[in-house]
Chain A
Amino acid sequence: MNGRLFRSSLTAGRSGIKARHHRPIRGKRLLPAKLCRVAARHPTPGSQTSLREANRARVIDSLKRHGHLTQVELAGATGLSPATVSNIVKELSTSGVLATSTTSRSGRRAVEVTLARRPGLVAGMHFSSRHLRVAVADVDRTIVAENHVPLALDHRHDRELDRATLLLADMCESLDAELSDLLAVGMAVPAPIDVRTGMVSTPGLLRGWEGVPVAEALSERVQLPVFVDSEANLGGLAEARSGAARGAAGAVYLHVGHTISAALLVGGTPFPGVSGKAGQIGHVTIDENGPICRCGSRGCLDTLAGGPALLELFRDDPGMQRVRDLLLRAESGDASARRVIADAGRHIGIAAASLTNLIDPDLIVVGGELATAGEILLSPMRHALDRSALAGADGVPDIVQGALGERAELHGCLALAVDSVDVGLGVLTP
């Protein structure tokens, strides 16, 4: 059985490499972004070097999902040959990215591989309208474990916080750590948070979470310090730290997905306003007599370009239930899906133009689920901005897609947690 295992997984590995040429990025959500980054750094995409980088990314990716694996298992999970895996593991453990230890599998000696981590872990939790993403990272913000759960529309705080706590405990366990080993948790919710009370600032925006001091409620469950902010602010923070808005003096981060909101980034830090409501661009009035919004007003941007509003236009189409369906449809060239996204872009562009006239940023970064539509969304936005925003000497601000994709907010959560840890240790003062 063992002999067969080795021989057959060897063949599996080889054919895995061959198959990569035909379909290199199937089923791996992380890989495309990584490949793009690799391609951007290297002048020759598809070269030996970029292939090696992609293979390395595959190995690290598998370890993030499984926690620890032996080299043979790693070969199976990545589809690389055992020899390649062995080389990559050797290389990455010399440079301190991976740690290896000797163990046994089915009575044979085996090398167990884990991601090396600095002492001290933090967690990030991003509750979006339809998803929960949880990550555990070391204080260098290298993610060592990540998980994802679909959520119900209008999820409720008590159930979801309970589940998130259990999930986080499970993830710590897979890293041979305990919940109490974490230093802090950073958390994002899809609504503005009033810094004075720690509750959702405006009624109606996140119905299941109203009247609850969100950070405190989670802190009671996990017995750790918890820091919370809106998803737009944290997505913006991440893009300002390590994404598309890096180095911009004044930037706006637009989170466009199920709901639309913005972060006003002044010198790389989100400006919260007095009660955390700054940047709620989704509730800017576009049409005085438009549909009634959940905030109580009429014709808000959200009622015209938010996820549910776009899907409502396809009410009789059973295959159009989520923003993701719309994106897939647009990607496959469906004209009506493209038109709906473009119209959303135009509306968002009008709101972004008012914002530009008010706070004068040098860059607008677009993130969130709908931003993955790319130019279908962005070019109508640019057009609307060109028409309505005051042009300076160098024209209107650039509109670019976020560099961190749908995980920007999660990175922001981790950044928030790491920042607080530094403050706690007295290493860094804000």
Chain B
Amino acid sequence: MRAETPRPGKLSMRGISKRFGAVRALIDVDLDVRAGEVVAIVGDNGAGKSTLIKVLAGVHPADSGTILFDDAPVTIDDPTDARDLGIATVFQDLALCDNLDVVSNLWLGRELRKGGGLDEVEMEQRSWALMRELSAKIPSVRTPVAELSGGQRQTVAVARSLIGDPSIVILDEPTAALGISQTAEVLNLIERLRERGLGVILISHSIADVQAVADRIVVLRLGRNNGDFRVADVSSETIIAAITGATDVRRRPLRTGTDR
């Protein structure tokens, strides 16, 4: 058990709207993430979950609304801006190179150099250190990624996002299409990120997984906020009601659904 000093950091999105032609993908959406907090975004297909994190990752700039980092407004126009602010994203397809080994994948594009060549020894050592810190079940960092299981690949993708020492990590459906052992691995990994003092934004369709690891659950419905719950206060029925629109919450009720 160890407590690293939580890094200062609170990311707030206020009144974010985004249009694709005639489609209003996001309408006046708010989202907050603090350091050491796991926030899950849940919602039906097309609710705007992915669009929202793409705004944060710099893939699609928002049409209107503000993003505040430690209460100071920032602009995120492209992925480089997001990376410079310490926001790392792990997309659903992971974007790993199957033919390269774990070390090469982790350092791809930011290889360490020594003299005229690459500093393989240093990169391998730091990869091992990172893998151990994440308690990753990877037998060797010289294994090609193609030989790893789904959960191990997810771990590598998350580890790669940590190389730049981010303060916020966004995980898009990290447990979709994984077996139970791999899901367990990813859920444990999320707990470890939280203990490291990182803010985690998690998109998932599995309510049980979300309830297991998240601190707060933000529900999106048809591009709008439809609830912001503390996990300790809310039952899965209430969350599903908010996702499906059985309960319609227009403004942000911070503490609804106290059912204990």
A interface vs B, CB < 8 Å? 1, 4-5, 7-9, 11-12, 15-16, 26-29, 65-66, 69-70, 72-73, 76-77, 79, 130, 147-155, 159, 163, 166-167, 170-171, 294, 308, 311, 318-319, 321, 324, 327-329, 331-332, 372
Residue contact A150 to B191, C-beta cutoff 8 Å? yes
Contact A327 B1 (CB under 8 A): yes
How long is the Cα–Cα vector from A149 to B191 in the complex, in angstroms?
10
* Cα(A319)–Cα(B173), bound, Å: 24
With A15-B125, A79-B128, A153-B232: A69-B139 Cβ-Cβ less than 8 Å: yes
Dominant SS at the B interface?
A: helix
Q: Are A26 and B2 in contact (CB under 8 A)?
A: yes
19 contacts between A and B (CB under 8 A): A8-B121, A11-B125, A15-B125, A27-B134, A27-B135, A28-B135, A76-B128, A76-B140, A147-B184, A149-B183, A150-B188, A152-B210, A153-B232, A154-B235, A294-B260, A311-B232, A318-B216, A319-B6, A327-B1
In the bound complex, what is the Cα–Cα distance between A166 and B181 (angstroms)?
A: 8
Contact present for B212 and A152 (CB under 8 Å) = yes
Q: Are A65 and B137 in contact (CB under 8 A)?
A: yes
Given A147-B184, A152-B236, do A12 and B128 touch, yes or no (CB 8 Å)?
Answer: yes
Contact B179 A170 (CB under 8 A): yes
Q: Chain B interface (Cβ within 8 Å of chain A)?
A: 1-3, 6, 34, 36-37, 120-121, 124-125, 128, 132-135, 137, 139-142, 179-181, 183-184, 187-188, 191, 195, 207-213, 215-216, 230-232, 235-236, 260
Interface centre among A73, A77, A155 (most CB of B within 10 A): A77
Contact A149–B124 (Cβ < 8 Å): no
Residues of the A chain whose Cβ atoms lie less than 8 Å from the Cβ of B36:
319
User: Which of these, A8, A167, A328, contacts B180 with CB under 8 Å?
Assistant: A167
Q: How far is the CB of B248 from chain A (nearest CB, A)?
A: 25
Residues of A near B37 (CB, < 8 A) are 318-319, 321
List chain A residues, Cβ under 8 A from B125. 8, 11-12, 15
Smallest CB separation, A71 vs chain B (Å): 12
Query: In angstroms, how far is the closest chain B Cβ from the Cβ of A338?
Result: 14
B183's closest neighbor in chain A, by CB?
A: A149
Residue ID in chain B nearest A149 by CB atoms = B184
Q: Which residue of B lies closest to A130 (CB)?
A: B212
Task: Please indicate the chain B residues that have their CB under 8 angstroms from the CB of A1 in the complex.
Answer: 142
Q: 10 tightest CB-CB pairs across the interface, nearest first?
A: A152-B211, A166-B180, A149-B184, A150-B212, A328-B3, A170-B181, A321-B215, A73-B139, A152-B212, A8-B124
Known: A5-B142, A8-B124, A152-B208. A321 touches B231 (CB 8 A): yes
Docked Cα-Cα span, A5 to B37, in Å, equals 38
* Residue pair B260, A372 in contact (C-beta under 8 Å): no
Which residues of the partner chain B approach A372 to less than 8 Å between Cβ atoms?
1
Given pairs A1-B142, A167-B184, 13 additional interface contacts (CB within 8 A)? A4-B120, A12-B128, A72-B140, A130-B212, A147-B184, A149-B183, A150-B187, A150-B188, A150-B191, A152-B207, A152-B236, A327-B1, A328-B195
Contact in complex: B211, A153 (CB < 8 Å):
yes
**A8, B126: Cα distance in complex, Å:** 11
**In the assembly, what is the distance between CA of A311 and CA of B236, in Å?**
20
Chain B: CB-nearest residue to A173: B181
Instruction: Report which residue of A149, A331, A372 has the largest number of chain B beta carbons within 10 angstroms of its beta carbon.
Output: A149
